[in-house]
Structures are given as C-alpha cells and as structure tokens.
Structure 1
Amino acid sequence: MPERDWMAAQFEEHRPRLRAVAHRMLGSLGEADDALQDAWLRIDRADTSGVENPGGWLTTVVARVCLNLLRAREARREDELAADRIPAASARAVDPEEEALLADSVGLALLIVLDTLAPAERLAFVLHDMFQVPFDEIAPMIDKTPAATRQLASRARRRVKGAPAPTGDASRRHRVVHAYLAATRGGDFDALLALLHPDVVLHADRAVVPTPEPVLVRGARPVAEGAMASLGRARSAALVLIDGEVGMAMLEEGRLRVLLRFAFDGDLIREIDVVAEPDRLRKAQVALAEG
C-alpha cells in the first residue's frame, strides 16, 4: 500500500480518539473538526516513512494544532481586554444537539474549567490525565522538561479536581443554585419564583447586554422573566465554584462567556451578578463545584 494511503487509513482508524483529544483541548465540536482538517493537511505534506507508532504520532500532530489554536485564542482575549469588548459569537454551523451530547459526555463543568487553564496547562492535563500520554512525550510539544510538564498537569489537576462536597450553609446554597439551574433549563417559571427573594436584585455588566450602562433588575417576577428569556443559554450552563463560592458558568463555542454569582438570604437568592466582561471573567477563579 502506498505510504499516503496507509497514513490516510491510520488517520481514519484513529479519528474518534483524535476528535476526542481535539474536543477536550478546544471545548468546541466545530473547532475540533477544523483542527482535524488542519492536522490532516499537515500530515499529508509530511514525510511519514519513519513513523513507527501512528496513533501516538497522529495524537502529537493534532495536539500541536490545538495548542496553536489555544495560543491564538489567548492572544485574541488579550486584544479583547485591550479593546474592552466582549467577543462576537462564531457563525460556524454546528449541530447543537451533537455539541450538547458531547459536552454532556465529557462534563460541561469540566469543559468550562478547562477553558480557564493556560494553553500549556490544558494540553498537559488533557493528554496525560485523560488520554494517558506520558510526560516525556508531552514535554517537547510545549518546550518543557518532563518534570516541568508534570508540574503543569498537577497545577491544572488542582483546578479541575474542585472542592470537597459542600456541607452546612455551603451545601444549602449549592442545592439552591442547582434548583435555579434546573428551573431555568426546564422553563419552570413558578419554581424560579420560589427560589428568588421578593426583593431580589440582578446586576448585569454592559458586556451581557449592549447598553451604555450596566443593567439593574429588581423584583422576583422581572428577574424570573429575564431568566425565561435566556433558556437557550441555560442549556450550556453548569454549576461551578467562582472564587470558592457556588455559582453558574455558561460556555459558548468552547469558551467561558458568562458567570453568575449569587448572594443569599436564608434559602432564597437575594442577589445575582451576571458577569461577561472579559477582564472580570479572566480574574475569576473557576473550579469544579464538587470533587
């Protein structure tokens, strides 16, 4: 079999694993498929005569492509911070049902936390902890020693592992936010009202809604009505810890777009802070809500 045909067959054989690597690296099905296409173009031009472990070699190529995409994404974030603007949504056509199924299979909260990691941290954690790639194979991809690569993965692991299961007041707040998320996803207006303090206040920064000033909404009914208008976004939301407190995060095209912080009065939500400004998102420490 000609070398090119052999490598094409290897690529197709390993495509499910390669796509899974790209999806966990990028958080977006559309970008994962783009990364695989880019990787194949590189592979097709490469001399593969010396490849003895095609699965490992292909994983390395795809991981390098994803790393470049993550670094470009990081640079765009810096530009967005400098320009003080929220990034525009992608127009890429993606099957939302397939995207949601894949996110559920990985864990939406995990994808959200992965998006807060530096590119090299994410690569080290994803390849080692999720795909059992040895550190000495990962290290050359990020120009680090195996020991330094191990440290990057360990740092990422601490973020991803999250906190122990909450107890006491923290456990109660966790249940309230979980119920809020369930009611929002299910479009249950009455259930939402039951969770909100009558005088609840919602703050939304100007990146959430394109207005000159931040949005302020008062009262349980107006806040619940606003939540009902955001059913589409709720599908991509998950419980996370934000600076150590339970909250919600929303992912779009593999990127953290919105955080919801909560304040409580007993078992009722007294205040909601909706955060989308890039600088505020960047400064937030986001971790999994439970270990």
Structure 2
Amino acid sequence: MADAGLLAQRFEEQRPRLRAVAQRMLGSTAEADDAVQDTWLRLSRADVDGIGNLPGWLTTTVGRVCLDRLRSAGARHEESTDAVGAEPAGGRDPEQEALLAETVGQALEVVLTTLGPTERLVFVLHDMFAVSFEEIAPVVDRSAPAVRQIAGRARRRVQARSADPVTDPARQRRVVEAFLAASREGHFDALVALLDPHVVLREDATAVRMGGTAEVRGSAAVAGFFNGRAQAAVPAYVDGAAGAVVVLDGRIRLALSFTVTDRIIGIEAVADADQLAALDLVVGG
C-alpha cells in the first residue's frame, strides 16, 4: 500500500484537472468539488498498488462519479440546467477561471447541457482531456468502437451549437494543417508550439507494427516523433474531427484524428483495416 501522505500529495497534484473535468460535466463549482471529494474517497478505499496509471484512473473515476450524479438528477434537471448559466455565489476563483480559459470557454458549458449524460462524459473525457476510447468504454459500459461513435455524434452537436472559436472546425483544421506542415518540414519548435504540454499520442497495434509506438506523452516527445515525418499525410476529417490520412498506392493506410482545444492535446492513429473501414473519413475538403 502506498504511503498515505504521498498518495494525498499525488492526488492534490491532479486536483485542478479533476475539478476541470467535473466542472464541465456538472456545470456547478460546488457539485464539482463534491465529485472530486468523492473521487478522493474512492481512491482512499482502492487497491492503490494495482493502479498503474494514477492520473488516468483519477480522470475516469471522477468522470464515473459525475455520470452517476447526472443520471440520478432527473428530478433536478431543470434546476441544474439553470445553474449552468449562473455564477456561483462570490464568483469563480482565479484558478477556475484559468482552467475554463484553457479548455473551451464559458459558452461551451451551456452547449454541453444539450448532450445526454453519456455523450457529455465521452465528449469531455476524450475531446477535452484526451482520455482514450478504450479507457472510457468500461465507464459507460460500451465497446470502444461504440464510444468512438458517441464521441463523433457529440462532437458534431457541439460544433453545430457552439460559437466558441476554440471549437470552430475551421480553426481546428488550420491547427492540424500547420502541424502537418511543420512535421513534413522538420520544424521541431513549431511542432512543440502547436502541442499542449500534456499531449498524448496513441497508435493501434497495426500502426505500431508499421513502425509507430503504442503511446507517447508530452509535447517534446510527440514533436520528436513527428519531426520530419507526415510526408504522405493529407488533411481529412475523421469522424467529424480535424485529422489526416496517409494514402499509399491509392489506399488509405492510416488515419490520424486530432483533439484540439487551444492546442493539440490528443492524437490517435488507426491503421487496422476493419477500424479504418468503420471510420467516417472525408479526405481533403
């Protein structure tokens, strides 16, 4: 069992991120803090030695806590919806304002209330915090491909309703195009500037066999991986998100989907033929 003091310290390091997830899910500072506290209680009762990725475990756990709260709040739906548009007593503190600014802005809080609980959780965890579909799947009791479809549906609804420039598909496309150009030209510093410091690159098993890597974390490491590459990549939309495809001999061999907030926070590479066939791919445009 991990030392209690060290565990508490590691939890506190993740608290701002957990609050940001819960705030997006619940729309209330007080409820978000309660959800984070529930997450701490669950961690204190868990077999910590069996947790390989504590930040990931905490993120999905706070998401599960929020999902349970949303599903049980049917009788209070109208009240909670009103609360999203209102400021809590005393206003938001500076830390929370910074977190909101770093994701997608206050307008999206209202837009998220138009999504069902499962759609909201999938969108928040994947499109805002780069949690993989495989990690989200057991939280919502769905398969990873089903979660991908939910994410695409939620993304299209959010983009259709939100005027926030950070969620603007055209802006996201420009960010991805700049990333591909910097990758092809070997501009390492430009790649780093386009990546969130906590960016995560994930590739499926087929992509790994083609010379990729299962997972890379951090802007410098991801920039290093892409530096001088992407020679055959062309812009595309992947399940409604800005992305790219690699076309060889007239066939799409790899699809890259990008999660873009203020910068690129997540990249997923799919090369498996069956998975590629299941994707909604729009090349060029």
TM-score by length of 2: 0.49
Query: Which one has the largest radius of gyration?
Result: 1
TM-score, normalised via structure 1 length = 0.48
- Greater relative contact order, per chain length (Cα 8 Å cut-off, separation 6+): 1
